[in-house]
Amino acid sequence: MNQIFATTIASLLNQALQLNQTSLAALDEITDKVIRINLIGIESSFSLFPDDKGIFILNNYQGEANVTIEIAPFTLSHLILNSNANLDNTTEINIIGDKEVAVKLLVIIKQLDIDWEKQLSQKLGSIVHIFGDTIRSSKNSINNQFNNLETNLIQQLNLPTKVEMKNFTSAIEILRNDLERLEQQTQELT
């Protein structure tokens, strides 16, 4: 990531923080911390320097970091955009240093609940609401079509459902635990 891109990301992030004073105030908890993000696969890194006014980002900062997050770009976007994703349930992530700083930053970013439609309508007028309604309607239709496709594929290909897969993996986990206990008991007897 070059410095121009890092500065652009910082600018967008800081504009969003200015629209959400709660998240901006929450930066106090991690002020004066250095958070390095190493993007796996593209061999790029950038460091975040939060303070009470926003976040400054430097490309390839060589100084010490309080926490380093090693993550693939796709995984990073999934972590930020998926409301259920967190540092504990996301695979392909390595955290070195103060994990609590990384957790606080992620919470702050996820709490950036900006009404972009309202912001755009202030600049462009009421036409934005029409586009917003159309996009939401399209999204719901696409989600329904995807769910129908998934259901049809499962039925046609005789694939197990999500519930059946969950039950199967749970049964395997129980079997694995039982096998480990049996192995331990066998070792104790010998």
pLDDT digits (tens, 9 = 90+) for 177-190: 899 999 988 888 87
Domain boundary residue, one of 56, 77, 110:
110
Domain boundary residue, one of 61, 80, 110:
110
For residues 55 and 132, state if they share a domain.
no
Edge-to-edge strand ranges of the sheet holding 54-59: 54-59, 44-51, 35-39, 67-71, 93-97
For residues 91 and 15, state if they share a domain.
yes
For residues 89 and 153, state if they share a domain.
no
pLDDT digits (tens, 9 = 90+) for 110-168: 887 666 666 667 666 777 667 777 777 777 788 788 778 877 877 777 777 777 888 88
Instruction: Work out how many domains the chain is built from and give that number.
Output: 2
Q: What is the mean pLDDT of residues 7-12?
A: 80
pLDDT digits (tens, 9 = 90+) for 90-123: 778 889 999 899 988 888 888 876 666 666 676 6
DSSP-derived secondary structure letter, 92: S
* Range of the structural domain that residue 171 is part of: 119-189
For residues 131 and 67, state if they share a domain.
no
Q: What is the pLDDT at residue 117? A: 65
In this prediction the pTM is 0.57
